[in-house]
Amino acid sequence: MKRIIVIVFFAVAAALALSGCAEIFNAVFDTGAPSGVSASDGDNANSVDVSWGAPNLSSEKWKGKRVDYYKVTWSFAGGSSGSGTASSTSYSVPALDSDRAKVCSVTVQTYISGWGEGSASDDGFALLTEELLWLDGGALHTVAGSDVWYVTMLQRGFTYSFDFGAPGTGSVTFYDYKNITTPEAAFSGLPRVDWLCNTTGNWYKYYVHVTPASVGTSVTASFGW
């Protein structure tokens, strides 16, 4: 019977830890982990801002103890990684130009009496964006670098077009605002992209990632229905 109880206990613990319920796991097992770790999603071009809540150390387990510091560890997918310490409940993770638009996994671990205790994580990203304005009759936009990320609002039911001016071609990818992992629509290698917006984005806001095939190509953005 004891063996069954131990197995069930570990099964529940493993399920909680593996199923993304880290907050619940930390709360149930009183790990001293920071609460509500939040990494910014594209708010800055050169950093990912991380904030969290102090752990609850009111239980008997932590009696008389306090947080020494927090260790912040990060890794950009296919980019740089590093770590730092914070005495308060926020930290700014530096992002190189090459780290932009890459998902950054951030873990914050609590150090109490010199020992590393519980930790919690979140994903964020750094992004350099421009606002994309929709002018009547279309507007020519010059892409200064190899690509550009726009922030804009799109009307469901309208068609949004990007014309690279044949023979020029390019790629256009639409993402919900604050999300660069799952595109709503993606087009590549075309002289002209027409997308009938059939979603509502994140409160109707979107990122539009435009990559001309040749650096310095201009693109005409227009809308219709």
Partner 1 sequence: MRPIRALALILAVSVTAQGLAAEIFSPWSDGRARLGLDLSLGTPSGLKDVFRSAFPGVSLRYLATRNFEFSLDYAYLEMSYYYPTSPSGPWAGPVPWSSVPASFSGMRTDWLFYQTRHFLAPQAWYVGSLEEALGLPLDLRVGLGPALTLVVPSEALKYYPSLADAVANFSSTFKAYLGLSFHAGLGWHPTDWFRLGAEYLFVVDSPFDVMTELWRDPLGWVERSGNLVLTAGVRL
- The least distance separating partner 1 from the CB of residue 147, rounded to whole angstroms, comes to 20
Q: Which is nearer to partner 1, 105 or 222 (CB)?
A: 222
Closest CA to 127 of 172, 97, 170, 152: 97
- Using CB under 8 A as the binding rule, whether residue 111 contacts partner 1 is answered as no
- Using CB under 8 A as the binding rule, whether residue 221 contacts partner 1 is answered as no
DSSP assignments along 148-187, one per residue? EEEEEE--TT-EEEEE--TT--EEEEEEETT--SSEEEEE
Q: Which is nearer to partner 1, 78 or 225 (CB)?
A: 225
- Using CB under 8 A as the binding rule, whether residue 220 contacts partner 1 is answered as no
Per-residue tokens: 203: 């409160």
Q: For residues 45 and 176, what is the distance between their CA atoms, to the nearest angstrom? A: 18
- Using CB under 8 A as the binding rule, whether residue 224 contacts partner 1 is answered as yes
Determine contact, residues 152/205, Cβ cutoff 8 Å: yes
Subset of 130-169 contacting partner 1 (CB under 8 A): 131-137, 152-153, 155-157
Subset of 21-50 contacting partner 1 (CB under 8 A): none
Q: Which is nearer to partner 1, 137 or 167 (CB)?
A: 137
Q: For residues 201 and 132, what is the distance between their CA atoms, to the nearest angstrom? A: 15
Where do contacts with partner 1 occur on this chain (CB under 8 A)?
131-137, 152-153, 155-157, 200, 204-205, 222-225
